[in-house]
Amino acid sequence: MSANVSFNPPCIIGLGEILWDMLPSGTFLGGAPANFAFHANQLGARGHVVSAVGNDDLGQQIVDALGQLGLATTGLRRVPHPTSTVTVATVDGQPSYTIHTDVAWDSLPFDDELNSLAEHADAVCFGSLAQRSPASRQSLQSFLRATRQDCCRVFDINLRQHYYDTATIQASLELSQVLKLNHEELPIVASLLKLPSDPEATIRELLQRFGLRLVALTRGGDGSSLYTTWRVSHHPGHRVERIADTVGAGDSFTAALVMGLLHQDDLDVIHDRAARLASFVCTQRGATPRIPDELRNEIVDHGMRCLL
């Protein structure tokens, strides 16, 4: 990853869906792109969310909530469709999602202002869910194509229900530098792309076929691994005494990963910071808890602190 970022602090984009997570414990701002942007913001970036909300009260509440979280809303569009909500239930300690259709972010437009924002981005994180409709898929991929060559484009695949297909995954990987997925998604991707069934062989093939710089594989409570063409980093995860919920933990992991890659930190150091932040998020309710100063200082190295 290039260290010659154009903004100080770096311009980090969460691209895709934004919504209200309806959890048993309450209603929380959600959507992986917003969660990612929020945590990157806490780690010293300037976080932007590029998505769409409706011309309704829930949409205005999202605009207000993003402002309260310190996130830029210049990439947020208002469209004549309802703001998205997702019902989240916990099954065996893991979140289960009921995702409603025909919502605002399914009609995300792409315009000159978003094109300019894309050109200034130092990192963009996106997934497969926001590409379920032709309109949002075209806008999302147009945004990615408008980024600089050295922009860190992260495909955090986030397979949800039936909202993915081979063509979308293939096109997304071709636009990416980094792939993040979990141990349940890996065999699905291998099957769709006709890759070897052995996990290690699958990852090696992904790195080579798509010219990826890194693949991040998470395994829930069993830790995670970061793969490059020349090195592998394994981490057992940081144990916690009490898990409130796991919503947003993966997004915080991705945010710490991206910040470390932008600063060209050591792979094992990046990995430990990402695991530490994800473990903390698991102890909190909702996807966007504030990071205590002590923990943030442990995660953010001297080079990053200079950006705050």
Structure tokens at 137: 């898929």
* Per-residue model confidence as pLDDT tens digits over 169-199: 999 999 999 999 999 999 999 999 999 999 9
Instruction: Note the pTM of the prediction, 2 decimals.
Output: 0.90
Residues 83/104, Cβ–Cβ less than 8 Å: yes
Burial profile 256-276: b = 16 or more Cβ within 10 angstroms, e = fewer = bbbbbbbbebebeebbbbbbb
* Per-residue model confidence as pLDDT tens digits over 31-72: 999 999 999 999 999 999 999 999 999 999 999 999 999 999
pLDDT of residue 130: 95
CA dist., res. 95 & res. 247, Å (int): 7
The domain locations on the chain are: 11-305
Confidence of residue 18 (pLDDT cuts 50, 70, 90): very high
- Residues counted in the chain: 308
CA dist., res. 74 & res. 137, Å (int): 20
pLDDT of residue 95: 67
pLDDT of residue 8: 79
Angle at CA 39, nearest 5°, toward 271 and 155?
Answer: 65
Compute how many other C-beta atoms are within 10 angstroms of the C-beta atom of residue 306: 11
Angle at CA 41, nearest 5°, toward 40 and 42?
Answer: 90
For domain 11-305, the question of CATH label 1.10.1660.10 is answered with no
CA dist., res. 73 & res. 179, Å (int): 26
99, β-bridge pairs: 86
* Per-residue model confidence as pLDDT tens digits over 257-299: 999 999 999 999 999 999 999 999 998 887 788 998 888 888 8
Q: Quick check: helix, strand or coil at residue 117?
A: helix
pLDDT of residue 305: 40
| AA letter at 193 | L
| AA letter at 19 | L
Q: Is the pLDDT of residue 99 over 90?
A: no
pLDDT of residue 307: 39
Q: Is the pLDDT of residue 304 over 50?
A: no
Q: Which residue has the higher pLDDT, 293 or 7?
A: 293
CA atoms within 13 A on the CB side of 108: 28
In degrees to the nearest 10, what's the CA dihedral of 30, 7, 257, 125? 40
Confidence of residue 302 (pLDDT cuts 50, 70, 90): very low
Confidence of residue 241 (pLDDT cuts 50, 70, 90): confident
Structure tokens at 164: 């993915």
Confidence of residue 1 (pLDDT cuts 50, 70, 90): very low
Spatial CA neighbour of 49 closest among 14, 84, 22? 14
Spatial CA neighbour of 19 closest among 92, 72, 76? 76
Q: Is the pLDDT of residue 255 over 70?
A: yes
Provide the sign of the torsion angle of the four alpha carbons 208, 259, 176, 202, taken in this order: positive
